[in-house]
Amino acid sequence: MNIFRLIAKDLRLQSYFFLPLVALEIAGYLAYILQMPSHIPGVAFGLLHGVALIGDFLICFRTMIAEEKNRALMFIKTLPVSTAEIVVAKFAVNLLLVCLNTGLLLAFWEGGRALGWIELSPHVTAYLVAAGLTYHCLNNAFFVMLSLVFSSERAVWLPFPALFVLMSVILNFDRIKIALHLEILVGLLQRDSLLFLTLLWIVIAGFVMTCCQSLRYKRVFA
């Protein structure tokens, strides 16, 4: 029950921020898309996810870093709640807002297509929704983990080296696959995309568990 109380508190506090954020994302998206050549397939949809990616970060920033900065987390820690409840509630509210944010952007895209404003592919399918939500939840959960385990200042800087590592992994993926004998697993994930999404949700669960464990050893909970 404490988890739901903490989630309700965050939803109440973020209610003034969330809709302006979505409106700003859509306005920003439209401002860019009007300047782009519409014939490049996939770019317009990719840009929509780019905008949602900024949303992922800002949602974490609002719910996590701002609360850390004004010492509200330290106050929460004085209430009769366990560290695990605080961590799970933080992840839950973030994932909820990210799903809502991504869902609204996808609804905007599909609505635009239905009304004839957007004449580009792809048509939003159930799989695309599931994949979009999973990628954005993973992205947001990564930020939340960083801001819980480290201080907010470090959480802002850490994604940069992580981005370079990720780019190196993508560029050298074939070599890494051979070196780590991952051919069978990669083949399996390529054939079964739902299994791949499940694996990403396991990674998100791993982030939550990492936070629950590491916060027990954090010197000051703030």
Residue at token pair 């799903």: 99
Whichever of 210 and 214 has its CB closer to other proteins, that residue is 214
Range in contact with other proteins (rule: CB under 8 A) among 81-89, 96-104, 155-163, 205-213: 81-89
The span from the CA of 154 to the CA of 30, in Å, is: 32
CB of 139 to other proteins, least distance (A): 27
222 counts as binding other proteins under rule CB under 8 A: yes
User: For residue 30, what are its two tokens?
Assistant: 């439209």
Those residues with Cβ within 8 angstroms of residue 18's Cβ, 6 or more apart along the chain or in another chain: 97, 100, 101
The binding track of 7-26 with respect to other proteins, each residue x by CB under 8 A or -, is: --x---x--x----------
213 counts as binding other proteins under rule CB under 8 A: no
The span from the CA of 34 to the CA of 115, in Å, is: 17
163-177 core/surface letters (b: 16 or more CB in 10 A; e: else): eeeeeeeeeeeeeee
39 SS3 class: coil
The span from the CA of 177 to the CA of 68, in Å, is: 39
The binding track of 50-79 with respect to other proteins, each residue x by CB under 8 A or -, is: -----------------x--xxx-xx-xxx
Cis peptide before 159 (omega within 30 of 0): no
173 counts as binding other proteins under rule CB under 8 A: no
CB of 91 to other proteins, least distance (A): 19
CB of 72 to other proteins, least distance (A): 3
220 counts as binding other proteins under rule CB under 8 A: yes
The span from the CA of 194 to the CA of 127, in Å, is: 8
CB of 73 to other proteins, least distance (A): 9
CB of 86 to other proteins, least distance (A): 11
Q: Which residues bind other proteins (CB under 8 A)?
A: 2, 5, 9, 13, 16, 67, 70-72, 74-75, 77-83, 216-222
